Amino acid sequence: MAIFVVAHGAWSAGWAWKKMRSRMAERGHHIVTPTQTGLGERAHLAQPDIDLELHIADILGVLEYEDLDDVIIVGHSYGGMVATGVADRARERVAAIVYVDAYAPGDGDSIFSLTPHRREPMTAAAAAHGEGWKIPPTEMPADTSDEDRAWAAPKRLPQPIKTFNQPLKLLHGEPIVPSHYIYCARRPADDRFRPFLERARAEGWSTYEIDSSHNPHINMPDELAEIFDEIAKSIS
């Protein structure tokens, strides 16, 4: 049995991974889907000082208090920033990193430094609709089913802007555990994750493509579970 711990994407929370829980259990694995501070069921804790470091600390706390070792840390989208920080700080607990259509940052990177074209519109949206510190949720992909949209869209909450502004600080250098990249091939015009797929290929990571838009855990959970199972077997 492998233990997967998810660092979810922006505006999202642990609830978004509910389809994966039974599918991973059917394959003999355990998936833990914690929610980062200020989002989902932890929305009551939202405040302007929430930043990337706090979200890294959220996941580190789960590893420590649940006594989780040899975990496969999964970062989806923004969660790639969080997962990389966790793999840096808890090297003795992390067996591998899986990036799911995610940012794969280096030391000193932030969401806005990696996608500078998004800084101005998102900052403006936070100023206009989020008291200057909350970035309103983006639209879900166009191919999201009506059923999934009705379920998920109302639960997506504003993202604290400091999580996008704060650079990642690696305390021990680049994580040295096996890394895997899952690229969602059904792209919008803004293909901001292809550079990370290309980095993964250049550095010899295991790479996968899935015929999904940005949220395969919602749109294609069976296919994503199969890839997770393959990754687990490759490192067992």
Condensed to tens digits (0 to 9), the pLDDT of residues 98-115 reads 999 999 999 999 999 999
The pLDDT tens digits of the residues spanning 142-181 come to 889 999 999 999 999 999 999 999 999 999 988 889 999 9
The span from the CA of 168 to the CA of 82, in Å, is: 9
Residue 32 in contact with residue 62, Cβ under 8 Å? Answer: yes
Please give the share of the chain, as a percent, with pLDDT higher than 70. 99
Burial class (CB in 10 A: 0-12, 13-18, 19+), 41: exposed
Mean pLDDT of the 190-214 span: 95
Residue 125 corresponds to which tokens in the numbers above?
């949206």
Catalytic residue among 12, 22, 77, 145: 77
Please give the tally of structural domains in the chain. 1
- The answer on pLDDT for 27 being more than 80 is yes
pTM equals 0.97
22 is catalytic: no
CB atoms within 10 A of CB 31: 22
Ramachandran quadrant class, 144 (left: phi over 0; alpha: psi -120 to 50; beta: rest): beta
The span from the CA of 75 to the CA of 84, in Å, is: 8
- Residue 17 domain boundaries: 3-235
Gyration radius of the chain's alpha carbons? 16
- DSSP H/E element including 206: strand 206-210
Indicate which CATH number applies to the domain containing 134: 3.40.50.1820
The span from the CA of 100 to the CA of 106, in Å, is: 17
What rounded mean pLDDT belongs to the chain? 96
Residue 77 corresponds to which tokens in the numbers above?
């989208």
